[in-house]
Amino acid sequence: MKIAMVSSTRYPTEKAYGVTIQHTCAALRKLGYETQVYGPGTNCIDESGNEVISIVNGSISANILDNLLNSGKFLFAIRSLILGVGLKFRTRLEEFYLIWLRDIYLAFALRMLGYKGFLLVEIHHIPTGISLSILRKLATKNTLIATLTPNHRQNLINLSIGGPICISPMGVPDDFFIQPKSKRGGISTEFGYIGKATSSGRSNRLDLLIEEFLKSVKLDSNLHLSIVGLTEEEIISLEESCYQGKSNGNPLSLIGIVPHSEIIDYLSNFYCGIVPYLDSQYNSMRFPIKLLEYAASSTHIIASDIPAHRSLLNDSQATFYDPDVPGSLSRAVSHIRSHEEETAEKISNAYDWAKKFTYENRANEALACIKDMEVR
């Protein structure tokens, strides 16, 4: 059976949604489905060997679509319609058993263009206004809504969205797993954060993270923090605001964007990985990939103590700190350093937790809901 994974933005990309599409597509192929990625990019083969098929003509069209991406809801809807038309004219929609995407407007456009097969619409936010009305209309017999966490699913149910809503959580690639006893490196002084300074335009307050970590360095000069995945502009900004341009030496290293396949090389040397997100409605809907990647690579998780993280992890798997309390992170670091046996147990527990979150399981969760729909 044929499945289309549709990206509404240029693909391939190192952003989290692109990584998820890449590995989900590969998992579906591994499960025996004929699966390709479609989007406003160029024809190519991605890092996982997936075939990527462009649904727009030329770089000029792609640039126009990029400009529409952040031009308001109306133009975004027009953009989604253009993508739907592109998919229709470059493929035979009726051949697809399932079209998997993350764009409510694009899903609606495909229905208007006559696609009657299964749609799986991933929702990672709380829809409002027109998008909510469209989602309610889409939630029919052949449309499945997928989300990341039980809390988010309940929020969608509370919005009177009918039809099946499944949980298809994040996954972690098989080659990211390092058994706790066999992890190389991981010296207990090495700490890290993988990710950008902003997520969907929202600040992750890495300046605050660095400021708090430097308090730990005053107590233990051997500590080192690496932040991996920053844009050039983010590196310059953090150097100017937090460390006066001295990021090339201890105790801080600011590292640019690296291919996702190389992230494991950094995680292999981390003892602890930090998840510094602050409490917000946006973060309450997230299931950060880095949580799973830290856990799978036997990197101890230090997470900000917010409801979103508590809904995914407990004290037996991670160490929590209060991002709103000065010195809380420093105290957490000191505790970890002086309780290495306790930390080792948490690492092992988190590793076992991560084993449930393979991309094959992610794909199977969604496909099981599709099969339930077929029976009804």
Give the percent of the chain with pLDDT over 70.
91
For position 376, what pLDDT does the model report?
58
What digits encode the pLDDT tens for the residues 99-139? 999 999 999 999 999 999 999 999 988 899 999 999 999 98
* CATH class of domain segment(s) 174-354: alpha beta
Quote the DSSP letter at residue 279. Answer: P
Q: What is the pLDDT of residue 286?
A: 82
Please name which of 264, 251, 253, 252 lies closest in space to residue 290, comparing C-alpha atoms. Answer: 264
- 339-362: pLDDT as tens digits: 999 999 999 999 999 999 999 999
Which pLDDT band holds residue 293 (cuts at 50, 70, 90)? very high
| pLDDT tens digits along 236-262 | 989 887 755 444 457 999 999 999 889
Per CATH, domain 2-171+358-375 is 3.40.50.2000: yes
Q: Which two tokens stand for residue 41?
A: 């990019």
Q: Which two tokens stand for residue 99?
A: 């079209």
pLDDT in tens, 16-34: 889 999 999 999 999 999 9
Tell me, what's the pLDDT at 164? Answer: 86
Q: Are 250 and 224 in contact (CB under 8 A)?
A: yes
- Report the mean per-residue pLDDT for the chain: 89
Question: pLDDT band for position 64 (50/70/90)?
Answer: low
Q: Confirm if 276 and 225 have CB atoms less than 8 A apart.
A: no
Sheet holding 2-6, edge to edge: 44-45, 51-54, 34-39, 2-6, 96-101, 118-122, 143-147, 165-167
**Given a cut of 90, is residue 152 above it in pLDDT?**
no
> Which string of DSSP letters, residue by residue, matches 218-277?
HH-TT-EEEEEEE-HHHHHHHIIIIITT-TTSTTEEEEE---GGGHHHHHTT-SEEEE-P
What's the Cα-to-Cα distance from 169 to each of 96, 140, 317, rounded to whole Å? 23, 22, 18
Could you state, in order of their start, the residue ranges of all structural domains in the chain?
2-171+358-375, 174-354
Q: What is the DSSP string of 5-39?
A: EE-SS-SS-SSHHHHHHHHHHHHHHHTT-EEEEEE
Distance separating the N- and C-terminal Cα atoms of the chain = 20
DSSP state of 167: E
Residue with tokens 């090389």: 265
